[in-house]
Amino acid sequence: MIQMHNVFLSYQPESSALSDINLKIPKGDFVFLTGQSGAGKSTLLKLIYADLTPTRGQVLIDGVNLTRLSRSQVPLLRRSIGVVFQDYKLLPNRTVLENVAITLEVLGWGKRDIGKKVYHILKRMGIEDKINATPLRLSGGEQQRVALARALVNDPKILVADEPTGNLDDENKEAILSIFKEANNRGTTVVVATHDRRVIENSHRRVIRLDKGAIVDTPDLFVGQAATEATMLEVPDVQE
Amino acid sequence: MSKNNKGAVRPKLEQEGFFGRLSYFTSRAFANLRQNVFVSAVTVGTIALALLIASLFLLVYVNLDGMAEGWSDKVQVTAYFDQEPAPLAVAALKGRVQAIPGTSKVLFVSQAEAEKRLRSRLKGQESLLEGITPDVLPASLEIRLDREHRDTDSVAAYVKKLKQIQGISEVQYGEEWVKRFNSFMNLFRLMGALLGSFLTITVLFIVSNTIKLTIYARKDELELLGLVGATRFFIKAPFLIEGVLQGAAGAVISLLALLGCYFAFLKNAGDFLGINPASAGLSFLPATHLAGVVLGGVLLGFIGSATSLKRFINV
C-alpha cells in the first residue's frame, strides 16, 4: 500500500511543487495520476520510488516510512518498484537484452536465468525479435515496451509510469495499457501519471487529479477514508 | 489470476559468493569497455601519454642521477703517514681504518709505490725527478667511502675519526670538491623533486579530469542503475575495475612507447650529447621503476574513477 500524509515538497524556498498531499493507494490498485504539465505528477511519482524526499510529511510504502529510510535501504525498496520513465532511460550502447537484464543483474541473477526471463518478458511485450537490437534502432512504441519490460521483468510489487503513452499512436497506447492491466491482474499496484484524457476514459480506473501541486476533487482518496476500486472520479477536462 | 505478486525469486548464480560477484563485475567491466570503445580509448590514450611524459622524465632523471653518483666515486680520502709503517703494522692499520663506519675500500701505498706512480705520471719528463728518492714521498692509505658516506658532513666526520689513528699525520680529501659536488647533487635532486612533483600534479589533473569527463558521459547509466535498485558498491565496482584496467593498459602502452623512444633516440644519446662518454649511452629504467609506472597507472585509474564516481552516484 502507498500512503502519503501531509506531504509538502519544495524545490525552491518560495514555490512548492507539492502541497499537503494526502492519499492512500491500496495494494493491487490501478490509479491514474493526472493534471496539467507542472502539476506535480512526476514529483509525486519520484516520492514513491524515493528519488525525492518530502520537505515535510510522510510517505509510506507497505508500512515502511520512506522519510526514515537510510541511504543503504533505498536500493532494497527500489527493487520492489518498477519504474517506466518519461524519457525511457534506455542505454543506447546496450542491446534490448542488456537493457532489460539490468534489473535482474542488480538482483544478482545468473546469466542463463536472465536470458530466459528476459526472453519471456520480451515475448509478452511482442518484441522478442528485437532482443539483440540497440534502442536507437527501435520505434517509439518498441522503446516504450523495452522500458516496460525492464520495469516488469522482476515482477515488482508496484509499477509506476510517467507519461507512458506520451509519444505513441493509438494502437501502441492500447497495447501498452493492456500490459499495465495484465501486470495489475498479476497483483502489481499500478500508478500511471498521464495527461492523456482518452487513456483515462478508456481504462475505467481510479483517478487522482493534481493541480499546482495539490490534489483536487478527490475527497475519497484522503487518508482515513478507504478507497475502493469502485470509486471513480469524473475524468477531468485537461488541456494539453 | 494471482493477486499476491511478491516479486521474482532470485535463482541461484552459477558461482555464488565473493568470486561469483567478482566474476560478474569483471565481465561487466570488460563489456563496458567494449560498449564504450571511444571513451575507453580516450582514457587509455590520456593515461598512456601522461605516463609517457612522466616516465621519460624518470628515465632522464635516473640516468643523470646515476651519472652524478658515478662522479661521487671520485670522493677519496688519503691518509698520510709520518713514517712508513712496518709491513706487519700495515695490516693492523688497514683493519683499524676498515672498522670505521663508511669505509668501503682501503689501499696501502708504500713510499716505493708512490715513487713508481709519480714516475709513470711524469713519463717523458724524467729529468724533473732527478735526485728524488722514495723516502721523500710519504706512505699513505687510499680510502674509498660507501655511497651513503660521501656527503660533506659524513666525510668531515669520517676524517675526524681517521685522524685519531696513531701514525697518521695528515688527511686530504678534496674538501672543496666534495662540498661543491654535494651542493650540485642537492640542487639536482631538489630540481628533480620539484619538476617531478609538478609533472605528477599535471598528470593527476589531466587524467582525473579525463576520467571525470568519461564518467560524466555515462551519467545516465549511473543514474539508471541507482533507480533500478543497485547499491553504491554494485554501481561502482565495474567502473573501478574499468579504471584499473584502463590505468594498467595506459601504463603498459606508455612503457612500450618509452621503449620505442629509447631504442630509436635515447640509447646512444649519451655519446651524442657527450654527457656520459664512459658509458655506451643512457640505460633503460630498472625493473622496480617499470613496476612503479604500472602501479602508478593502476592507481591513477582506480583513484580517478573512485573520485569521479563520488560526484555522479546519488544512491
Q: What is the average pLDDT value for chain B, to the nearest integer?
A: 84
| The overall pTM is greater than 0.80 | no
Q: Is residue B274 predicted with pLDDT exceeding 50?
A: yes
Please give the pLDDT value at position A159. 96
Q: Is residue B66 predicted with pLDDT exceeding 90?
A: no
Residue A13 corresponds to which cell in the numbers above? Answer: 524556498
Facing B228 at nearest CB: one of A94, A103, A155: A103
Nearest CA in chain B to A88: B224
Q: B11 vs A51: CB contact, 8 Å cut-off?
A: no
Residues in chain A: 240
Q: What are the pLDDT digits (tens) for A169-227?
A: 888 888 888 999 999 999 999 999 998 888 888 778 889 999 989 998 654 443 333 34
Question: Does residue A151 lie within any of the structural domains?
Answer: no
Please give the pLDDT value at position B52. 93
Which residues of chain A neighbour B221 with C-beta distances below 8 Å?
91
Question: Does residue A180 lie within any of the structural domains?
Answer: yes
Residue ranges of alpha helices (H) inside chain A are: 41-48, 74-78, 96-106, 111-125, 140-152, 170-185, 197-203
The label of the residue with cell 494471482 reads B2
Question: Does residue A67 lie within any of the structural domains?
Answer: yes
- If asked whether residues A134 and A178 sit together in one domain, one would say no
Give the residue-averaged pLDDT of B182-211: 88
Question: Does residue A209 lie within any of the structural domains?
Answer: yes
Which residues of chain B neighbour A104 with C-beta distances below 8 Å?
8
Could you tell me the CATH number of the domain that includes residue A210? 3.40.50.300
DSSP A29: -
Give the residue-averaged pLDDT of B206-216: 87
Q: Is residue B1 predicted with pLDDT exceeding 60?
A: no
Q: What are the pLDDT digits (tens) for B12-23?
A: 555 567 787 888
Question: Is any Cβ of chain A less than 8 angstroms from the Cβ of B229?
Answer: yes
Q: B226 vs A75: CB contact, 8 Å cut-off?
A: yes
Please give the pLDDT value at position B279. 52
Question: Does residue A147 lie within any of the structural domains?
Answer: no
Which residues of chain B neighbour A49 with C-beta distances below 8 Å?
227
Residue B124 CA from chain centroid, whole number: 47
- If asked whether residues A10 and A125 sit together in one domain, one would say no
Sheet holding A81-84: strands in order across?
Answer: A81-84, A158-162, A189-193, A30-34, A206-211, A214-216
Question: Does residue A68 lie within any of the structural domains?
Answer: yes
Give the pLDDT band of residue A129 (cuts 50, 70, 90).
very high
Q: Is residue B189 predicted with pLDDT exceeding 70?
A: yes
Please check whether residue A80 is in contact with residue A50, taking contact to mean a CB–CB distance below 8 angstroms: no
Domain range holding A223?
Answer: 2-80+156-231
Residue B203 corresponds to which cell in the numbers above? Answer: 598528470
Q: What are the pLDDT digits (tens) for B83-106?
A: 888 888 888 888 889 999 989 889
Q: What are the pLDDT digits (tens) for A41-92?
A: 999 999 999 999 999 999 999 999 998 988 889 999 999 999 999 999 999 9
Distance CA A46, CA A18 (A): 12
Question: Is any Cβ of chain B less than 8 angstroms from the Cβ of A140?
Answer: no
Give the pLDDT band of residue B275 (cuts 50, 70, 90).
low
Distance from CA of A17 to the nearest CA of B (A): 21
Q: Output the furthest CA–CA distance in chain B (Å, rounded).
A: 126
- Positive or negative: CA dihedral A202, A208, A213, A215: positive
Nearest CA in chain A to B2: A186
Q: What are the pLDDT digits (tens) for B221-236?
A: 999 999 999 999 999 9
Distance from CA of B197 to the nearest CA of A (A): 39
Please give the pLDDT value at position B271. 57
- If asked whether residues A162 and A188 sit together in one domain, one would say yes
Question: Does residue A181 lie within any of the structural domains?
Answer: yes
Give the residue-averaged pLDDT of A95-107: 94
- If asked whether residues A75 and A115 sit together in one domain, one would say no
CA angle in degrees (0–180, nearest 5) for B304-B291-B198:
50
Q: Is residue B269 predicted with pLDDT exceeding 70?
A: no
Q: Is residue B71 predicted with pLDDT exceeding 50?
A: yes
- If asked whether residues A74 and A171 sit together in one domain, one would say yes
Please give the pLDDT value at position B18. 77
Structural domains of chain A, count: 2
- If asked whether residues A44 and A107 sit together in one domain, one would say no
CA nearest neighbour of A24 among A48, A49, A46, A52 = A48
The beta strand positions in chain B, using DSSP E, are 76-81, 103-109, 140-145, 168-172
Question: Is any Cβ of chain B less than 8 angstroms from the Cβ of A216?
Answer: no
- Pairing of β A81-84 and β A158-162: parallel
Element (H, E) at A206: strand A206-211
- If asked whether residues A69 and A96 sit together in one domain, one would say no
